[in-house]
Amino acid sequence: MKEYTYLPEVRRVFRCTVPDENIRQVFLVDGILQEEDNEKDGITLKRGAEEKGLYMRVQGDHFGETIQIISVRSEDLSCPLEFTNEWELEPGAGIQIIVCDHTLNDHLYQTSRFSKITLGENARLDILFMQNEHIHSRYRLDMIANLDKGSQLDCHVLSLYGGIINNKIHAVMNHPGAVCRMDGLYLADGEQHIQYDIAVVHNAPDCFSRQLFKGILDNHSRGSFNGAIKVAPGAQKTEAYQANHNLLLTNEAKVTTKPQLEIYADDVKCSHGASIGRLDEMGLFYLRSRGIPLAQAKMLQQMAFVEDVLAGIRTLAIRERLEKMVESRLRGEFKKCSNCTMHCC
Amino acid sequence: MGKTETVMLSIKDLCVSIGEKEILRGINLEIKPGEIHAIMGPNGSGKSTLASVLAGRETFTVTGGSATFMGKDLFAMTPEERARLGLFLGFQYPVEIPGLTIVNFMKAAINEQRKFNNLPGLSSGEFLKMMREKMAVVEMDPSFVGRGVNVGFSGGEKKRNEIFQMAMLEPTLAILDETDSGLDVDALRVVAHGVNKLKTKDNAFVVITHYQRLLDYIVPDIVHVLYKGQIIKSAGKELALEVETKGYDHLINEK
């Protein structure tokens, strides 16, 4: 495992690890890029508009690297913050991006992160958003992706912790042959509030999209999922699927789910499914009858519930790391750390 | 004075209800190490209820009587405590758990059991070796380890999986609830072979079945016939044959 990288500008020791030797780490503190504008190994990295956020362009011959973007809110700036991160992949380029969002203390942070993604022909982007802040933070992600012919976007969003989390995710396919997979997992407890607004737009024929979003809600938390699929006239042979499943652990937790399909083409395969349920009593008894204590049985059932979302993360080392984080999150260990906010991740 | 034989499970006047409905109406049963008991009886007589109540399913209410297992009050224990003390229930309808692999399921169960017995945890290598050995007992394909628990399994595969879990946990008392239902002859033989291989002088089995067929392979010491929540007759293995040829009616009428 790679040694912890410390962020020298931040006084309190801050750790963010990814168990892969070759991951390049890029830091953003309060939206400011912590390195000079540079160009290396086919990747252009520079500050975004008004010196905030980042702009990254990946050359067409570049394929397979992973970059971790560690974006933190520090004690130096407590006012609401807005910035834009932009990724542009040239035709044929491929890259994996992990965006980790953290807060370094429990100030009442409010952060809006716009993400603009442009995929050239046959480009491929795997992007993972790790939302791990604290109970007083307000987090907003506003992502828009444009997919060119034959390109592929795999987007994972993991809402681990945060007071109010708002995710607005939008993907548009204007050219044939594009593939868009979106997976999300939201874990809420206490008084947390998590909202997802998804829109996948099929403007061209022969594109494929799939959405799989799952949530586990405990205590008095609230969740809401609005998922739209739009298939324009002429976007024949579209395949578009959506699923949203929710597990409520208490009688007080609430979730609303609203699938919306707007289809204006007649030769398509589209489906949606939504469910809200609780832990399976018979399953719990089955596990307990093998000597597994109730708390552990509940944990196994929750991990089983989220398994297919995590299975979609292709890099094994990252997937295993996330499984551990999700498990410790579900055990309530993040809550205990809420005064510390480092979350030891 | 002769040595008193140890009783593993002792059930006295057990009465059980679900909601307002009385299902078991005074069951008395004693099981000693090394014994195989068969429980037969028409549909709705309470066989599965008895199995579920002993394992600790909470949908049923014990309204009277008592049960002592390994010297402890069975009904004062949670299902997991009973399991760790050596009680095993082979489910009539094994539960599907998508997303949980058999290997992770068994790892959790074995770790709990070893923790309870003050044994150190098994290494991954030791654990996988144990899995392979026990899968061989029930002729289960090793590729099953990575599959979701009972997900997409045929009826026979589910029952093999139950016997496999039993082989892993090596219970003191195993209650097999209609493990033979839905099995073809080959699967039945495999399951029975598994039971016979695990049988020792120190453990005991309760086999709940509708058919005498299973008892050709697993030979019981005592056969009980359950009817309307009561044991109406207990006898040797010949009772199973009697039921097979004459049905339950004459036993019910005798009563």
**CATH at residue B87:** 3.40.50.300
In a domain, B153, yes or no: yes
pLDDT at A12 over 70: no
What is the distance between the alpha carbons of residues B95 and A206, in angstroms, rounded to a whole number? 40
- For A:252-281, CB contacts with B below 8 A are 280
Could B105 and A300 be called an inter-chain contact, meaning their C-beta atoms sit closer than 8 Å? yes
Q: Give the pLDDT score at A41.
A: 87
In a domain, B75, yes or no: yes
Residue A11: pLDDT band (50, 70, 90) is: very low
**pLDDT band (50, 70, 90) for residue A134:** confident
What tokens appear for A94 in the block?
A: 């491929």
Nearest CB to B99; choose among A282, A297, A305 = A305
Contact flag B100-A301 (C-beta cutoff 8 Å): yes
A345 confidence band (pLDDT: 50, 70, 90): very low
Q: Is 70 exceeded by the pLDDT of residue A1?
A: no
Type of residue at A7 = L
Residue A288 or residue A329, greater confidence: A288
Positive or negative torsion for Cα A201, A206, A207, A213: positive
In this structure, of A2-6, A14-18, B208-212, B243-247, the range with the lowest mean pLDDT score is: A2-6
B contacts of A285 (beta carbons < 8 Å): 55-58, 79, 95
Which chain A residue has its CA at the smallest distance from B87's CA? A289
> What pLDDT, on a 0 to 100 scale, did the predictor assign at position A74?
79
What tokens were used for B64? 């009277």
Give B31's pLDDT tier (boundaries 50, 70, 90).
very high
Cβ distance A301 to B97 less than 8 Å, yes or no, reads yes
Q: By CA distance, what is A285's nearest residue in B?
A: B57
CA angle A312, A317, A319 (to 5 degrees): 30
Interchain CB contact of A305 with B (< 8 Å): yes
Beta-carbon pairs below 8 A across chains A and B? 79
Cα angle B222, B228, B229; round to 5: 65
Quote the pLDDT of residue B60: 93
In a domain, B94, yes or no: yes
Q: Is the pLDDT of residue A16 over 70?
A: no
Classified as helix, coil or strand, A197 is strand
User: If pLDDT is split at 50, 70 and 90, which confidence band does B236 have?
Assistant: very high
* Helices A294-311 & B102-116 angle (0-180, nearest 10): 150
Contact at CB, B95 and A280, closer than 8 angstroms: yes
Tell whether the model's pLDDT for residue B6 goes beyond 90. no
Q: Residue A162: what pLDDT?
A: 87
Contact A289 B165 (CB under 8 A): no
Q: Please provide the DSSP assignment of A70-119 as one string.
A: EEEE-TT--S-EEEEEEEEE-TT-EEEEEEEEEESS-S--EEEEEEEEEE
**Mean predicted confidence (pLDDT) in B2-14:** 81
Contacts with A257 (C-beta within 8 Å, 6 or more apart), sequence order: A224, A225, A227, A244, A246, A274, A276
pLDDT at position B5 is 62
Structure tokens at A332: 């309530």
Which residue from B55, B99, B108 is facing A296, i.e. has the nearest CB?
B108
A308 in B contact zone (CB under 8 Å):
yes
The residue range of the domain holding B94 is 9-254
A339 confidence band (pLDDT: 50, 70, 90): very low
**Contact between chains at B98 and A304 (C-beta distance less than 8 A):** yes
Q: Which of A68, A88, A81 is nearest to A113 (CA)?
A: A81
- pLDDT of res. A9: 53
The identity of residue A252, as a single letter, is: E
Which chain B residue is nearest to residue A311, measuring alpha carbons?
A: B99
Kindly tell me if the per-residue pLDDT of A325 is higher than 90.
no
Closest CA to B160 of B181, B135, B128, B124: B135
User: Residue B184's pLDDT is what?
Assistant: 84
Say what the pLDDT of residue A102 is: 82
A3 versus A302: which is more confidently predicted?
Answer: A302
Are the beta carbons of B80 and A293 separated by less than 8 Å? yes
Within a domain: B3: no
DSSP letter for each residue of B5-21: PP-SEEEEEEEEEETTE
Task: State the burial class of residue B37 (Cβ atoms within 10 Å of its Cβ: 0-12, 13-18, 19+).
Answer: buried
Please state the φ and ψ torsions of residue A190, each to the nearest 5 degrees.
55, -130
Residue A287 contacts B, CB cutoff 8 Å:
yes
From CA B181, how far away is CA B163, in angstroms rounded?
14
Mutate to test the interface with A, among B97, B106, B151, B162 (most CBs of A within 10 A): B97
Q: Is residue B4 in some structural domain? A: no
Q: Answer whether residue B84 is part of any domain.
A: yes
User: Which of these, A163, A159, A226, lies nearest to A193 by C-alpha position?
Assistant: A163
- Residue B10, CB half-sphere, CA atoms under 13 Å: how many? 9
Distances (CA, A) of A160 to A51, A185, B23, B160, B180: 29, 8, 47, 39, 46
Q: Assign A328 a pLDDT band (cuts: 50, 70, 90).
A: confident
Mean pLDDT value across chain B: 92
CA angle B115, B118, B119 (to 5 degrees): 80
B2 in a structural domain = no
pLDDT band at B145 (very low <50, low <70, confident <90, very high): confident
Please write the tens of the pLDDT for every residue from B87-138.
999 999 999 999 999 999 999 999 999 999 999 999 999 999 999 999 998 8
Once rounded to an integer, what is the mean pLDDT over residues A177-189?
A: 96
pLDDT at B3 over 60: no
Domain boundaries, chain A: 24-278
A310-324 confidence digits (pLDDT tens): 999 988 888 988 898
CA distance B93 to B105: 17
Distance of CA B52 to the CA centre of its chain: 9
| Mean pLDDT in residue range B141-160 | 91
Q: Is the CB of A307 inside 8 Å of chain B's CB atoms?
A: yes
Query: How would you write A59-73 as a 3-class SS string?
Result: CCCCEEEEEEEEEEE
pLDDT of residue A6: 47
Which pLDDT does position A137 carry in this prediction? 87
Mean pLDDT of B60-70: 96
CB within 8 Å: A292 and B80 = yes
In angstroms, the Cα distances linking B76 to B10, B22, B30 are 14, 21, 19
Q: A181 CA to chain B: closest CA distance, Å? A: 20
Q: A244: which strand partners?
A: A213, A274
- What is the band of A229 on the pLDDT scale with cuts at 50, 70, 90? very high
Are A138 and A163 in contact by the 8 Å Cβ rule? The answer is yes
Residue B2 has pLDDT above 50, yes or no: no
Token digits for B112?
């709990």
Say if strands B21-31 and B9-18 run parallel, antiparallel, or are unpaired: antiparallel
**Tally of CB atoms within 10 A around A61:** 9
Here the contacts of B142-145 (C-beta below 8 Å, separation 24 or greater) are: B144/B102, B145/B101, B145/B102, B145/B103
Instruction: Name the phi and psi angles at A219, rounded to 5.
Output: 50, -125
> In chain B, what residues touch A305 (CB-CB under 8 Å)?
99
Q: How many domains does chain B have?
A: 1
Q: What is the ipTM of this complex?
A: 0.95
Which of chain B's residues have a Cβ under 8 Å away from the Cβ of A308?
A: 99
| Predicted confidence (pLDDT) at residue B237 exceeds the cutoff of 80 | yes
Q: Check if A282 contacts B (Cβ < 8 Å).
A: yes
What amino acid is encoded at A138 in this protein? R
What is the least distance, in Å, from the CA of B184 to any CA of chain A?
Answer: 25
Provide mean pLDDT across the span B220-233: 95
In whole angstroms, what is the distance from residue B217 CA to residue B174 CA?
16
> Which of A67-76, B119-128, B134-143, B205-214 is least confident?
A67-76
What pLDDT score was predicted for residue A14?
Answer: 53
Which 8-state DSSP code applies to residue B253?
H
